[in-house]
């Protein structure tokens, strides 16, 4: 485990005027999240919630490229490969509890997203009250490409996006920019990258949050996905992954180049991961946020003992050959019984959420 000093270098939690400010401080790693960062942030949030001098929390990422590109996947891969799965599970348990803490936080929670936000970074931003993003935003939940699954509250949040767009994002891992993120409600306030420092200063000075963000708001532009929404809603409402692929191929046969591209893209992803993601989207609408996090912990506990996650990280991050050998290799080989096992209660009981 990390020392407190190492965690402090990776994340800065400080009181600045009226704000508790969290700076994710691993810019060379695109601010990827470690256990030490999770613990430091949780402690800060707990302290600031009780401090009457802190009227809002502001979270930002250092370096100018990313808010947070996700969890430290390489570290989690290495722990699992070394047989230290319990250490990896500890990270996910504490990360998921932090996501739930953010969702239920009683003070305004403002994420300033100036660049990449993916995976674990989505968990630190999407569940807060204010999601402020710039034209540099790149948003994605790309986990199906590494044999993982959309976690950190995606089970709750993505099915609540308009139409079938949540399923589309979950099973393709596609990236979207500022205009689409605003149109889908992922981003609450679009602000120019050049104004982010001023926004931070004004929030720290205790100025009215809505007034600050409204005054700095910019037009996000036309959302590219708007032209594809009908196709997305038709195809990604499919019952399972083979059904979605068949619908995409039908649309492609009727002239949709994008549908054909998406079908080909999905064939490169982990069949098991996509099937898990589709089932998450089915179950998510009926779950509370804590229930969604408990379900994700069931899934991740099984993923950590499986094959595709380690193979996906090997292919994409370790060896970088971009040629994972999934098991099973085809979506048609994934059984409903195999997927149901990921969602089954854990023998030791569900993750406790405060």
* 305 flagged as catalytic: no
Active-site residue 64, yes or no? no
Kindly name the residue from 70, 120, 173, 284 that is annotated as catalytic.
Answer: 120
Domains of the chain, first to last: 4-343 (3.90.226.10)
Q: What is the mean pLDDT of the chain?
A: 97
The beta-strand segments (E) located in the chain are 11-16, 19-24, 56-61, 66-68, 109-113, 116-118, 130-133, 138-140, 189-190
> Quick check: is 151 catalytic?
yes
Enter the tokens of residue 136: 């540099």
Q: Are 202 and 212 in contact (CB under 8 A)?
A: yes
> Which of the residues 95, 114, 151, 174 is marked catalytic?
151
pLDDT (0 to 100) of residue 4: 58
**Terminal alpha carbon distance of the chain:** 23
Q: Specify the pTM.
A: 0.96
The per-residue pLDDT for range 195-241, each reduced to its tens digit, is 999 999 999 999 999 999 999 999 999 999 999 999 999 999 999 99
**What pLDDT score was predicted for residue 354?**
83
- The active-site residue, picked from 72, 95, 114, 143, is 143
Active-site residue identified among 20, 36, 70, 71 = 71
Task: Give whole-number Cα distances, 294 to 33, 73, 132, 277, 338, in Å.
Answer: 20, 20, 28, 15, 19
User: In the annotation, is 143 catalytic?
Assistant: yes
Task: Tell me the C-alpha distance between 24 and 29, whole Å.
Answer: 10
Burial 110-126 (b: 16+ CB within 10 A, else e): bbbbbbbbbbbbbbbbb
pLDDT in tens, 65-80: 999 999 999 999 999 9
- Please, how many CA atoms are within 13 Å of residue 279, restricted to the half-sphere of its CB? 21
Virtual torsion, Cα 129, 135, 136, 140, nearest 10 deg: 60
Residue 8's pLDDT is 64
- At residue 7, the pLDDT reads 61
Separation CA 76–CA 74 (nearest Å) = 5
pLDDT along the chain (354 residues), means of 10: 64 98 97 97 98 98 97 94 96 98 98 98 98 98 98 98 98 98 98 98 98 98 97 98 98 97 98 98 98 98 97 97 98 98 97 93
């Amino acid at each position: 485990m990390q020392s407190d000093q190492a965690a402090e270098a990776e994340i800065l939690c400080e009181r600045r005027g009226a704000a508790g400010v969290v700076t994710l401080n691993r810019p060379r790693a695109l601010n990827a999240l470690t256990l030490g960062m999770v613990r430091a942030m949780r402690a800060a949030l707990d302290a600031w919630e009780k401090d009457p001098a802190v009227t809002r929390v502001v979270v930002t990422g250092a370096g100018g490229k990313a808010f947070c590109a996700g969890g430290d996947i390489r570290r989690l891969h290495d722990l699992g490969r070394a047989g230290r799965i319990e250490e990896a599970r500890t990270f996910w348990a504490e990360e998921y509890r932090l996501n739930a803490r953010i969702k239920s936080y009683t003070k305004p929670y403002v994420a300033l997203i100036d660049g990449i936000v993916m995976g674990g970074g989505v968990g630190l931003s999407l569940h807060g009250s204010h999601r402020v993003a710039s034209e540099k935003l790149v948003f994605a939940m790309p986990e199906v490409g590494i044999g993982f699954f959309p976690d950190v509250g995606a089970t709750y949040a993505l099915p609540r996006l308009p139409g079938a767009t949540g399923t589309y994002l979950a099973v393709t891992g596609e990236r979207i920019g500022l205009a689409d993120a605003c149109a889908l409600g992922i981003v609450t306030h679009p602000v120019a990258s050049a104004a982010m420092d001023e926004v931070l200063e004004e929030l720290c000075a205790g100025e009215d949050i809505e007034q600050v963000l409204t005054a700095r708001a910019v037009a996000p532009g036309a959302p590219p996905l708007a032209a594809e929404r009908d196709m997305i809603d038709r195809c990604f409402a499919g019952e399972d992954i083979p059904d979605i692929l068949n619908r995409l191929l039908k649309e492609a046969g009727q002239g949709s180049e994008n549908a054909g591209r998406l079908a080909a893209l999905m064939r490169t992803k982990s069949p098991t991961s996509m099937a898990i993601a589709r089932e998450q989207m089915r179950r998510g609408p009926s779950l509370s946020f804590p229930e969604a996090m408990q379900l994700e912990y069931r899934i991740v506990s099984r993923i950590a003992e499986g094959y595709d996650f380690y193979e996906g990280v090997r292919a994409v991050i370790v060896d970088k050959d971009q040629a994972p050998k999934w098991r099973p290799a085809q979506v048609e080989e994934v059984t409903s019984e195999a997927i149901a096992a990921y969602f089954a209660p854990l023998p030791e009981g569900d993750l406790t959420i405060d």
